C-alpha cells in the first residue's frame, strides 16, 4: 500500500523524539502498529478496543519514552500532553477541522517546535484540508523532498 511505504520512508528519513500517528479506526491502529513493529520501529498503539487499564499502561510507556511511535485513534487526539512529541502524522484524514486542530496540537507542546504531516488520499481528504485552511486561515504546503530539521527539532 502506497501510504504504508510513504510512512515507512518518512519514519526512516525524519529525525524525531516521538511521533503520534493518527488513524480512523481500531482495526487500522492495530494493523498499522503490527506493520511498524514488524519493520523494527519502536511502536505501540492505543485505541478504544482496549481496557482503560491497558490504555493507561501503554500511555505511560509512551510518555516515559519506552516507545517512540504511538499509533492511535482520536481517543488520544485531545488532552494528552507529552513533551517529547514533535511530529504528528495524520495517516488518515480526520473528519473535521476541529479534530484536525486537536490532533496536530499534540506536536510542539510546551513552547517547543513541532511538525504535522497529513496524508491526502481522496477528494474527501482534500475537502477537509481545504476546510482547515479556510477556518484557521493557514496555508498548508505539500511536504518538500528535504525538510529542514531546525523547523521542528530543538537545536
Contact partners, residue 24, CB within 8 Å, separation at least 6: 73, 92, 94, 95
Backbone angles phi, psi at 45, to 5 degrees: -130, 155
Short-list 101, 82, 84, 83, CA closest to 140 = 101
Give pLDDT, residue 83: 83
pLDDT tens digits along 97-127: 999 988 988 887 667 788 999 999 999 999 9
Task: Name the CATH architecture for the domain at 2-139.
Answer: 3-Layer(aba) Sandwich (3.40)
Give pLDDT, residue 128: 93
In angstroms, what CA-CA distances link 15 with 62, 63, 83, 131?
A: 17, 18, 16, 30
For residue 43, how many other CB atoms are within 10 A of its CB? 22
pTM for this prediction: 0.92
pLDDT tens digits along 20-71: 999 999 999 999 999 999 999 999 999 999 999 999 999 999 999 999 999 9
Whether 149 shows a pLDDT value over 90: the answer reads: no
Amino acid at each position: 500500500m502506497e501510504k504504508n511505504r510513504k510512512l515507512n520512508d518518512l519514519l526512516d528519513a525524519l529525525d524525531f523524539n516521538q511521533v503520534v500517528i493518527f488513524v480512523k479506526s481500531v482495526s487500522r491502529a492495530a494493523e498499522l502498529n503490527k506493520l511498524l513493529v514488524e519493520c523494527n520501529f519502536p511502536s505501540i498503539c492505543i485505541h478504544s478496543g482496549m481496557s482503560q487499564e491497558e490504555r493507561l499502561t501503554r500511555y505511560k510507556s509512551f510518555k516515559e519514552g519506552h516507545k517512540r511511535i504511538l499509533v492511535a485513534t482520536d481517543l488520544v487526539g485531545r488532552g494528552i500532553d507529552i513533551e517529547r512529541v514533535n511530529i504528528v502524522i495524520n495517516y488518515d484524514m480526520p473528519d473535521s477541522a476541529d479534530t484536525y486542530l486537536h490532533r496536530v496540537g499534540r506536536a510542539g507542546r510546551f513552547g517547543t517546535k513541532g511538525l504535522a504531516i497529513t496524508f491526502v488520499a481522496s477528494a474527501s481528504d482534500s475537502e477537509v484540508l481545504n476546510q482547515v485552511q479556510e477556518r484557521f486561515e493557514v496555508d498548508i504546503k505539500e511536504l518538500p523532498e528535504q525538510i529542514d530539521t531546525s523547523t521542528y527539532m530543538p537545536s
